[in-house]
A and B are shown apart, each in its own frame.
Chain A
Amino acid sequence: MPVKVRIPTPLQKLTSNKDEVEVIAGNIKELIVELEKSFPGMKDRLCDETGKVRRFVNVYLNEEDIRFLSQEETAVKDGDQVSIIPAIAGG
């Protein structure tokens, strides 16, 4: 089940400058494992020592923050789009 993942600028060095990649996974946790297989170094950037998504990384499934869904357990399916976006300031 390919899921489209939008890669933020700071991580595009790992994906040979591609801003979107496809991976096959059933949930966000697996998706990160798959990203790491294809683009080594990815997991370290996205997750802290305990394996959880870092607090300054926002992951969205089709526009919705996964913290409003089931966090890392959030299921993904064919055709979904996942965006990884650093936290940004406001006003």
Chain B
Amino acid sequence: MSYMLGLKCRECDREYPKEALYVCEYCFGSLEVSYDYKALAKKVTRKTIEAGPKSLWRYRDLLPIDGEPAAGYYSGFTPLVKADILGKELGVKELYVKDDSVCHPTCSFKDRVVAVALSRARELKFDTVACASTGNLANAVAAHAAWAGFKRFIFIPANLEIAKIVGTLVYSPNLIAVDGNYDDVNRLCAEIAAKYRWGFVNINIRAYYAEGSKTLGFEIAEQLGWKAPAHIVAPAASGSLVTKIWKSLKEFDKLGLLEGELRTKVHLAQAEGCSPIATAFLGNHDAIKPVKPSTIAKSLAIGNPADGYYAIDVLKQSGGTAGIVSDDEIREGIKLLARTEGIFTETAGGVTVAVAKKLIDEGKIPSDESIVLAITGNGMKTQEAIREAVGKPIHIAPSLSSFEAEVLKAGCKL
């Protein structure tokens, strides 16, 4: 049973059938999935969700597929970690980390979007899937498509981190490294997508793909005991995740699944070397000015963010704000989370931690309200970004005397 009605233009409300369409023929606005919320309200309860699988597919009624899932059977349902030590360090009372650094199988929240995108791609009868990626999406599409048995073409900017390249190649996709930045890759892919009948997860099946991000927000609320937190801080590249986190909470609210009123403020985190959305929001600009990215947070390096305007709408509607942090602050953020909570996140997570710290320090997030940090990726993938910032092992000869001498020399207490 499917509650998906069709697609609708986010700009002009024109309606389209639920096919592989991604932009409004009339105004170029992007298309969004619409659902039969009346029917959903009759069917979906906390109980029906709790009885579902321990994966993102427990929210299947709120996801855009007609039949059975075809990918990501084990994706999602990641831990919501009560982060008391980090909370103490930041001076806040109630802090949680939504830890998608351990999402199955490729260790980022992109496993969520790809699980949904490929399930829909199968229903739309594609035999080949493709994507343009800043890295994590590449890993996820390569892995899920291997499991689900799709042919796969993956396009990345040539300068990606080595772990993201190896972590894609290992699944035997066709991996194309393009000379240029992500926005160049994307532009090229738009032309390729027009020519070949492939399921491009972030182009012609984007409307379905994007819905997968909602599951991160659903899980936060369910894991808090069907309560929405007062604050969520999330990183933004295209701005889709931020937009969908807000949508997920509004959907739960509409279906009466939340305890109390929905009063969550959603805050957006970007890196100084690529902050087109945060800059437009903080400067109160009408237009988002695209940028040429230059940051260690390569997963967030989208200079021309397709969902930027919608992300700004979310900040305004929810009463949240945005923060921008430098590469050094990102490195400190990564180390801070690791040192306090034992979680090693990638650069995007460093952006989130550092922005949360900044907003708390500036009093924009009050210290006595509940806060969730969306940690969306794994630090193993971006080791070169912090290699120089984590120090070195103490090097010794294999003898007790060398051990004691060197360790003392390094200033350790025995």
Chain A residues near B264 (CB, 8 Å)? none
Complex Cα spacing A57 to B306, Å:
10
Q: Are B290 and A67 in contact (CB under 8 A)?
A: yes
A27 within 8 Å of B by Cβ?
Answer: no
Q: Are A90 and B191 in contact (CB under 8 A)?
A: no
Complex Cα spacing A74 to B27, Å:
23
Q: Are B28 and A56 in contact (CB under 8 A)?
A: yes
**A55-B309, A91-B133, A91-B238 known; A86+B110 contact, CB < 8 A:** no
Q: Are B240 and A89 in contact (CB under 8 A)?
A: yes
B56 within 8 Å of A by Cβ?
Answer: no
| Residue from the set B110, B190, B302 with the largest chain A CB neighbour count within 10 Å | B190
Chain B residues near A9 (CB, 8 Å)? 194
- Contact residues, A77-91 vs B (CB, 8 A): 83, 85-91
Complex Cα spacing A8 to B189, Å:
12
Residue of B nearest to A8 (CB): B194
Residue of A nearest to B23 (CB): A86
Q: Are A89 and B210 in contact (CB under 8 A)?
A: yes
Out of B27, B134, B189, which one reaches A45, CB within 8 Å?
B27
Complex Cα spacing A42 to B137, Å:
34
Complex Cα spacing A9 to B28, Å:
11
Within the complex, what minimum Cβ distance (angstroms) separates A51 from chain B? 15
Complex Cα spacing A86 to B22, Å:
9
Within the complex, what minimum Cβ distance (angstroms) separates B26 from chain A? 7
Chain A residues near B131 (CB, 8 Å)? 91
Complex Cα spacing A57 to B26, Å:
11
A6 within 8 Å of B by Cβ?
Answer: yes
Interface string of B127-153 (1 = CB under 8 A from A): 000011110110000000000000000
Within the complex, what minimum Cβ distance (angstroms) separates B381 from chain A? 14
How many residues on chain A are close to B (CB under 8 Å)?
Answer: 26
Q: Are B30 and A58 in contact (CB under 8 A)?
A: no
A54 within 8 Å of B by Cβ?
Answer: yes
B259 within 8 Å of A by Cβ?
Answer: no
Within the complex, what minimum Cβ distance (angstroms) separates B167 from chain A? 14
Q: Are B194 and A90 in contact (CB under 8 A)?
A: no
Q: Are A91 and B110 in contact (CB under 8 A)?
A: yes
**A57-B28, A85-B190, A89-B30 known; A68+B290 contact, CB < 8 A:** yes
Residue of A nearest to B287 (CB): A55
B113 within 8 Å of A by Cβ?
Answer: yes
Complex Cα spacing A54 to B113, Å:
28
Within the complex, what minimum Cβ distance (angstroms) separates A7 from chain B? 9
- Contact residues, B278-320 vs A (CB, 8 A): 287-290, 292, 302, 304-307, 309
- Contact residues, A37-91 vs B (CB, 8 A): 45-46, 54-58, 60, 63, 65, 67-68, 83, 85-91
Within the complex, what minimum Cβ distance (angstroms) separates B8 from chain A? 15
A18 within 8 Å of B by Cβ?
Answer: no
Out of B30, B110, B132, which one reaches A87, CB within 8 Å?
B30
Within the complex, what minimum Cβ distance (angstroms) separates B189 from chain A? 7
Residue of A nearest to B186 (CB): A88
Of B201-209, B246-254, B338-346, the one with at least 4 CB within 8 A of chain A? B201-209
Complex Cα spacing A63 to B188, Å:
9
**A65-B290, A89-B307 known; A54+B27 contact, CB < 8 A:** yes
7 contacts between A and B (CB under 8 A): A45-B28, A56-B27, A83-B187, A88-B202, A89-B307, A90-B132, A91-B201
Binding site for B on A (CB under 8 A): 6, 8-10, 13, 19, 45-46, 54-58, 60, 63, 65, 67-68, 83, 85-91
Q: Which 6 A-B pairs have the closest CB atoms?
A: A91-B137, A90-B238, A87-B306, A86-B23, A10-B25, A90-B302
